[in-house]
A = this chain, B = another copy of it.
C-alpha cells in the first residue's frame, strides 16, 4: 500500500484461458468498484496498449513482458527460462515493492515455484499452499490445500491448519471451525498421517479443531475450513463441481417447454448464479512472503475481478504480517 492508501496490484495479463481480453474486462470492473486500487498489467506492451481504454487514466500502468507461460510449461523451465514471461514480470513487481500483490490465472506450478523463489517463504514454511473457497450457497467454506502438495506429512497438515485459520479470520472476520478431511469421522479412521495431524491440530489452543470431517459433511455446514492434501482437495472440489453441473443440465432439460418450467428455470438460474465459480474465484497462496492470488485458469472477467478484490482485502488486512506472527508464536 502506498502512502495515499492505494493498494497496487500486479496482474499477469497473459495468465488464463481468456487472457488478455478477460483481464482487460476485469480491469474495467475493478476500476469502477475498487476506488483505492491501482493496477499494473504485465504482458506484451503493443498488444496491451491496443486494448487499453482511455477511461483507465493513470490508475493502470502497463509493464512489458514478451510472452505468456503456457499451461504445460514445466516448473523447471518456467524458473530457468521464464525471465521474459508475464508471470515472472508480475512477481518481480512485488519483489521490487512496486506492487503489493500479484494476481495470476496462469500455470499454478510455475506461480508457486516463482513466488517461492522470488518472494521467499514465511519462517518455517516449506512450500506454498492454496486456500480455495468451495462453491456453497450459504456461508463460506474454505479448503486447503488445493495446490500441488500431493504427498504431505502430519506437520505440513498442521501448518495448513495454522495458515488457513489465520487467513480465514482475516478474510471472513470470524474464527473458523476446522475439520481434517478423512474417510470416516471416528478417531481411529483413515491413514496414520491423519491421526498424527489430528493430534497436532487438536493440541494447538489457538485452533478451533472439530475433528475428522467426511467429504459429504463439508457441504452440510459442519466446518468452515477443511484441511487436506492437494490431491484429496482437488478430488473433493472437482467431484462436487461435476455432480452439480450434471444435475443442473438434467434439471434444465426437465423444465423446458412449459410455463411452470419457465418460472422454475428462473429460480434455477438464480441458484446457479449463487453457485457460480466466478463468485468464489481467487485462491490465496499461503506461506509465501507476499500476497499472491491464484485465479482459476477458466475464470471469466467477473471471477478475475473477484480475485483482484481478494488481493486488496488481503493487503489491507495485512495478512502476511499476521501469518508471520502466528507462525512465530506457535513454533
Contact = CB atoms under 8 A, between A and B. Distances in A.
Interface of A: 72, 74, 136-137, 150-151, 181, 183, 186, 188, 190-191, 214-220, 230-232, 234-247, 250-251, 254-255, 258-264, 267-268, 270-271, 275
Contacts of A261: 263-264
Max chain B Cβ within 10 angstroms of own Cβ: one of A232, A264, A268:
A264
Nearest to A268: B251
A231 to B, nearest CB: 6
A191 B150 contact: yes
12 contacts: A72-B186, A150-B183, A150-B190, A215-B238, A216-B241, A218-B239, A235-B235, A235-B236, A239-B240, A247-B247, A263-B264, A264-B264
A259 to B, nearest CB: 7
A216 B235 CA distance: 8
A152 B155 CA distance: 22
The binding surface of chain A is classed by DSSP as helix
Given A264-B255, A264-B263, A267-B254, A219 B234 contact: no
A145 B236 CA distance: 16
A268 B232 CA distance: 30
Given A136-B246, A230-B183, A254 B271 contact: yes
Most B Cβ at <10 Å: residue of A137, A231, A240: A240
A232 B268 CA distance: 30
* Residue of A137, A243, A246, A263 with most partner-chain B CB within 10 A: A243
